[in-house]
Every structure is written in structure tokens, then in C-alpha cells.
Amino acid sequence: MLPLFYNQRMIKGLTVVKPVGSAAAWERLGTLFSELGFEPGKGWDDGTGRGVSFLAPLGNAEFVTGRLPAVPELLIECTQLDIVHGIVKRWLSAELRTEDIGGRLSGVAETHWKSRLFTVDLGDGLVFGFWEREDVLAGRPIAIEGDLSAAGMKFGIVVARWNAVITDRLLQGSLDAIVRSGGRLDDVQIVRAPGAWEIPAAARMLADLRDDNGKRKFDAIITLGCLLRGETAHYEAIYNEAARGIGQSQQDTGVPHAFGVLTCETLEQALNRAGIKAGNKGFEAAVAAIEMVSIARKIGHAAAGKHEGSGVAAGKLAQVDVDRASEGFQK
């Protein structure tokens, strides 16, 4: 059984699959959603049908018992609803005669559920609702978060040989997390360092490795070790330098380093944290590494203007000048 914190992050999103009446309607729908700022997903064509997904940062399913509310089956939450309404109106103006638009596009109206809504009928049974909360910040994604999919990621794992009865369990936990998250053992390089003191140096060596194209070979480094308190100050000296060195390697290289070095008072405490009672800290370190790689990629995409996590009409809507847009909508 997976740890509870891991299960809570396994559900990533929801896909609504809806048939379209004709190929022409399918093409028109694609142009509208692209203009609204949805990012096209990977399409498919099996000879008997074809489809394409449009990606939004958040989604949910709502189930109703009794009378259904008078809203379309598919509701799209957005920000800057008036601008979205204008974009849809402009798109309809290019597709329909002006006198036909009124029967297809409603005005923006208040709802009883603290929001504003408009609907658009594209024909062929395709009716959509676009809505905006009264409190525009409620439910709005304001943070980039990582996903727990290790597919395509490469990891370097540095594991201390000292206290191997513990560190071997931590290593198995890390490998388990990577495989369960879609990663491949072929994409993992394991380095066994003599002890915790040597972990930072080995981690830095892995973080600095590059492939033939000059790209860093590993997306993240996972550090695993175990220190047990003794009768002298040796424990504190080793722990402090190991933690400092791992952090320094991460800061200097920009490669995420997950910290899975246990610092325990007794062997029993260490065993409990290596999969006996208190979870497996090696598993947790690998999960943190996976999430940090995902975050790094999303931040990189956001910097390149490709991140979709800032609202349905991200990018395009933010750049629309309201006055200029209004002129275009009055065509």
C-alpha cells in the first residue's frame, strides 16, 4: 500500500470526451479553443475517428441529483470573462452572419452561485458555458506545483555504505518510488559512497556530469545515508558538513538534490524510518526529487511563455488591450 501522502497526489486531472457532429465542426472548435488560449494536446487518428485534447490547468466533475441546473454540460472557468466573451463574439463574427450571432451567443449574466456566466451554441449539439467567480481569486491557481510522474527523468542516487542495514532499505524505497511513478531503472545511476561525509562530493560529481550534447546527465540527485549518535561530537560534525555540502552542490549546480540522510539517536529510530513504522525516508526523498524536477520544468516553460497554469485564457487574454479588443468586437 502506498503512503497516504503519495496517494493524495496520484490524481492529476480529468478528461471530458464529447463527440462532435461533423469534421467541419471539429475543425471550427479547434480554432476557437486555440484562440481562447487552450494549449492543444496530443491528437489521435485511428482511421475510424480522430480526436484532440485541449489542456487547462484545472478541472473537475460535478454530479447532480434531482433537477439539473440550467447550464451547459461543459462549463469552462476563466478570468476576465468580458474579454473572453468578446473573443468568442469576434470568432463567431468570422463564422456566421451578424444577424445569426444573437441566437448563438448569450450576454454575460449573474448567477445564483456567486458568479457570472455566458453560453455559446456552436451547433451540432455543442453548447459551452464560460463563467467567472465573483471573487476572481477564489479557486485560481496561484502557484506552480510539481507532478509525480517520473517518466523520462534521469536520477543519480548517492547512498552511503556505512550503516548499510539502514541505507539499503532507503535505496530500495527510492527505487520503488521512481518505478511506481513511471520512471525506469535504466535511467538511474547508483553510487555507493563510503559514508555520509563523502556523500556531498559524490553528489557534486554526478550533478556536474553532462552528456554528449552538453546537457546535464541527471535531472536530480537523491542522497541517502544514516548517522547514529555516538558518545562524541563526531555525529554533529559529520551531519553538519554533509547537510552543508549537499545544499552547496544543489545551489552551485541548479540540479535538485533530495535529502534522505537520516540523523537518529538509536538504531531502532533509523529502522522505523527505513520502512518499518514511520514510512521510508528514501521513498519520500525520491518523491521530493521527482516533484522538484517537474517544478523546474514548469518554471522553465513559464519563463519561455509556455506554461499553462495561470488561467484558461493565459497569455492571449492577458495581452488583449480592452479598448482595442472592444473595437474589434463591434465589427
- Nearest CA-CA partner of 28 in 79, 91, 77, 75: 91
Tell whether 299 and 311 lie within a shared domain: no
Task: Name the domain count of the chain.
Answer: 2
Q: Residue 260 domain-assigned? A: yes
257 is catalytic: no
Q: According to the annotation, is 73 in a ligand binding site?
A: no
Tell whether 92 and 171 lie within a shared domain: no
Which of 85, 112, 234, 301 is labelled catalytic?
A: 234
pLDDT higher for 89 or 41? 89
Tell whether 161 and 240 lie within a shared domain: yes
Tell whether 315 and 265 lie within a shared domain: no
At residue 74, φ and ψ (nearest 5 deg) are -115, 120
Q: Residue 2 domain-assigned? A: no
CA–CA separation, 148 vs 183, rounded Å? 10
116-147 confidence digits (pLDDT tens): 999 999 887 888 889 888 875 555 555 777 88
CATH of the domain at 66: 3.10.180
Tell whether 20 and 159 lie within a shared domain: no
Q: According to the annotation, is 274 in a ligand binding site?
A: no
Q: Please say if the pLDDT value at position 210 is more than 80.
A: yes
Q: According to the annotation, is 78 in a ligand binding site?
A: no
Q: According to the annotation, is 197 in a ligand binding site?
A: yes
What pLDDT is recorded for position 208? 95
Structural domain containing residue 203: 155-303
| pTM value surpassing 0.85 | no
Tell whether 198 and 136 lie within a shared domain: no
Q: Residue 8 domain-assigned? A: no
Tell whether 191 and 319 lie within a shared domain: no
Q: Residue 55 domain-assigned? A: yes
Q: Residue 263 domain-assigned? A: yes
- For residue 315, what is its C-alpha cell? 497569455
CA–CA separation, 83 vs 135, rounded Å? 17
42-89 confidence digits (pLDDT tens): 777 878 877 777 777 667 666 665 666 777 888 888 878 888 898 888
Nearby residues of 121 by Cβ (< 8 Å), 6 or more positions away: 103, 104, 105, 127
